[in-house]
């Protein structure tokens, strides 16, 4: 496993009643969800990769890792930056950063400090389309109150788009870039033990993935309930488009086995795992616990731990 360069995990989450990721409002009293439109006009709800990355960062901080505090950008009107210290902060190491500095002279060129994230994240996209379902709600906080003119305040009526279905996402971890390379030019590369610790922490955060947006009224669990994972000698999210479910919501494992066969030259190991309470298990699918333990063993072997 020391020669592997990446680990890719395509996963499924199931939600029964959710409004996972808000979009721009077109009507004041309607709260929409993010959707993408296919060529045939079908609309698929999704959770953006930005939202997922923010959730993973928050989970790592919740788990006790030091936060790379946000500070003002180096350039006027530039995007705020973190501490830009990947050796010190797991966030800066795993999720990368970019900060552009203006030129010191009028006709000079500016400089930039960049670390491309070694953790790649695909949006969490529903496998079933949006049917137009709405949650009707009324805010009665103003009931019985009057304004300065003595007029009774009226309840605020609003609607929120909701969706039920199975969502599919993918992450890929570039193991050979953890704790080293870009961003570490002027600092000491972290130890193999620390690299291993950071990747294992990320896997724990991913395993407990939870988005805080719209959870007060629409509590949903988007953590993985099925995973198709591979330890790759190249960098290729081989299962990204291949995890499919049938009409009764069960995973097509035979199709995944064909993918593993097609790329067997580049796959050092693979595993399919499911939480049986959500997705049924076959002889080729292990428990979710065993699946993550197997992935962790790949990481430990890669870093010699």
Greater model confidence, 108 or 35: 35
- Bridge partners (DSSP) of residue 272 are 228
Inside any domain, residue 154: no
Res 103 pLDDT > 70: no
Inside any domain, residue 98: yes
Inside any domain, residue 140: no
- The predicted pLDDT at position 148 comes to 81
pLDDT > 70 fraction of the chain, expressed in percent and rounded: 93
Going from the C-alpha of 181 to that of each of 82, 90, 186, 192, 284, the distances in angstroms are: 18, 15, 10, 14, 38
Q: What is the number of structural domains in the chain?
A: 1
Inside any domain, residue 215: yes
Q: Kindly state the average pLDDT of the residues 117-143.
A: 91
Inside any domain, residue 200: yes
Q: How do residues 52-100 score in pLDDT, each as one tens digit?
A: 999 999 999 999 999 998 887 776 666 788 899 999 999 999 999 988 7
Asked if 7 and 229 count as a contact pair (C-beta separation under 8 A), the reply is yes
CA separation for the pair 29, 164 (Å, rounded):
22
- The predicted pLDDT at position 110 comes to 58
Going from the C-alpha of 28 to that of each of 122, 157, 216, 255, the distances in angstroms are: 30, 10, 20, 45
Q: Lowest-confidence range among 34-48, 57-71, 93-107, 165-179?
A: 93-107
Q: Kindly state the average pLDDT of the residues 107-120.
A: 81
- pTM for this entry: 0.92
Look at the block and give the residue holding tokens 């049917």: 131
Radius of gyration, CA atoms only, the chain: 23
Inside any domain, residue 151: no
Q: How do residues 260-295 score in pLDDT, each as one tens digit?
A: 999 999 999 999 999 999 998 888 999 999 999 999
- The predicted pLDDT at position 102 comes to 65
| Angle, alpha carbons 105-108-112 (nearest 5°) | 105
Res 105 pLDDT > 60: no
Residue 48 belongs to domain spanning: 6-134+160-302
Greater model confidence, 74 or 226: 226
- The predicted pLDDT at position 104 comes to 57
Q: Lowest-confidence range among 99-113, 208-222, 240-254?
A: 99-113
Inside any domain, residue 101: yes
Greater model confidence, 304 or 73: 304
Inside any domain, residue 155: no
């Amino acid at each position: 496993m020391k020669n592997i360069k990446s680990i890719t995990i395509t996963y499924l989450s199931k939600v029964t009643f959710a409004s996972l990721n808000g979009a721009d409002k077109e009507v004041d009293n309607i709260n929409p969800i993010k959707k993408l439109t296919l060529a045939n006009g079908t609309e698929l709800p999704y959770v953006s990769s930005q939202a997922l990355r923010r959730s993973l960062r928050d989970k790592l901080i919740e788990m006790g890792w030091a936060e790379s505090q946000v500070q003002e950008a180096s350039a006027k009107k530039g995007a705020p930056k973190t501490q830009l210290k990947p050796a010190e902060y797991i966030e800066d190491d795993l999720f990368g950063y970019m900060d552009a500095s203006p030129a010191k002279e009028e006709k000079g060129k500016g400089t930039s400090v960049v670390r491309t994230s070694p953790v790649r994240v695909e949006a969490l996209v529903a496998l079933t389309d949006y049917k137009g379902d709405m949650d009707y709600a009324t805010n009665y906080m103003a009931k019985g109150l009057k304004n300065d003119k003595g007029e009774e305040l009226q309840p605020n009526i609003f609607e929120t788009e909701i969706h039920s279905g199975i969502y599919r996402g993918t992450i890929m971890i570039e193991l050979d870039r953890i704790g080293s390379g870009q961003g570490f030019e002027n600092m000491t590369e972290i130890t193999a033990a620390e690299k291993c610790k950071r990747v294992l922490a990320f896997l724990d955060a991913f395993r407990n993935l939870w988005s805080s947006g719209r959870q007060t009224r629409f509590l949903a669990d988007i953590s993985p309930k099925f995973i198709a994972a591979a330890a790759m000698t190249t960098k290729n999210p081989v299962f990204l488009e291949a995890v499919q479910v049938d009409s009764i919501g069960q995973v097509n494992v035979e199709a995944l086995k064909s993918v593993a066969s097609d790329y067997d030259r580049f796959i050092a190991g693979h595993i399919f795992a499911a939480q049986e309470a959500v997705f049924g298990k076959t002889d080729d699918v292990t428990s979710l616990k065993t699946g993550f333990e197997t992935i962790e063993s790949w990481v430990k072997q890669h870093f010699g731990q």
